Structure 1
Amino acid sequence: MDHLVLTVIAQDQPGLVERLAKCVAEQGGNWLESRMARMAGQFAGILRVAVPKESRDTLVQALQGLDVAGIRVLFADSGNEPPAGSWKPILLELVGNDRPGIVRDITQVLAEQGVNLENLLTDVSPAPMSGDPLFHAEALLAVPLSLSLDTLKARLETLADDLMVELNLRAEE
């Protein structure tokens, strides 16, 4: 079996995921995992499928054919996963007044420490009392075992003070 990672984007519409799933199934593919969401009238997702080696090219062609329906699909072969037990999962939560550069600044510190971002959810919503825009982020971090949580926390807390945001790190349960 070949494993493909697909990135999908299209104008949001009912039945979009069904068309994608039907295309995968008709070519003998197996939908393994996905993350999908609607945002600003668009629907985007990333998914991993397994497909018999002999059906791979046919599946790619069939998925490319969805372009006529406005569904764009990009393809990549599955990459190498980090070895199990080489990192610890840490949850990061951040809340603060919105301003440009928050994601850039946080991810720069993470990258400098060798931390990989496994999952990231962000949004901006009005603060309860003032209505000012509040930036919220939740991330699952893959922290190398060689990096102490105290070291990471100290570096991020220094940045949080500069950004004037509340930041919380905790081990994933």
Structure 2
Amino acid sequence: MRDKWRVPMHCSYIITFISDDRPGLVETIANTVRKCDGNWQESRLSQLGGKFAGLILVSVPQSGAAALVQALSDLNQGDISVSVTETAKKTTSPDVRTVSLSIIGPDRSGIVQEVSRALAGHRINVIEMDSKVSSAPMSAEMLFEARISASVPEILNVEQLRNSLDSIADQMTLEIEIA
């Protein structure tokens, strides 16, 4: 009788996939997750360069974990490339806070590399980043835009970070704002 009330242990996995874009692709993955009693928790899906790619966080009872991993691996036999990775146990540090950065300016090679180097140099961890290149409304010049969410150590010298980012902004003709 005690087992009836026991909460089953769950595993969490990140599914990454890429495929030619087509109708039914998300449904194929969702059906596979559901057939193994998995629960789709969070995702980032996007069409990029004629392909459709995604990151999906799912949880599944431990009893169904092996079946889920196998079923998703079986999808690799088609036109979908799938990878499954077990998540790490969450560890949070009380000595961090979250900041947002926005970047905009003429598109050129090296923007992400320079900004990410400056962030890493200040022990800042990128949590999420969205970027795109689009045509400027008036000049049709190609513009790079990015939004970054990052965890920052409490002991960070914000003025030093601003100076590092201002230097990059000046060199690459960018606007970089920290919020």
Partner of 1:106: 115
Q: CA deviation at 1:84?
A: 5.0
Q: Tell me the TM-score normalised to structure 1 length.
A: 0.93
Q: Deviations over 1:24-67 (max 9, x none)?
A: 01001111111111111111111111111121111111111212
Q: Which residue of 2 aligns with 1:32?
A: 41
Q: 1:1-173, aligned counterparts within 5 Å? A: 1-170=10-179
CA pair 80-159 structure 1, distance change in 2 beyond 3 A: farther
* Structure-2 separation of matches of 1:95 and 1:80: 35
Unmatched segments (≥5 aa) in structure 1: none
Alpha-carbon RMSD across the aligned residues, in angstroms, is: 1.3
Q: How many residues align?
A: 170
Query: What whole-Å deviation, never above 9, does each CA across 1:89-142 have from its counterpart, x for those lacking one?
Result: 111111111111110010011111111111111111112221111111111111
The answer as to whether partners of 2:72 and 2:84 remain within 8 angstroms in 1 is no
Unaligned segments of structure 2, at least 5 residues: 1-9
TM-score, structure 2 as length reference: 0.90
The answer to whether the 8 A contact 2:104-2:145 is kept is yes
Pick the structure with greater CA Rg.
2
- SS of aligned partner of 2:22: coil
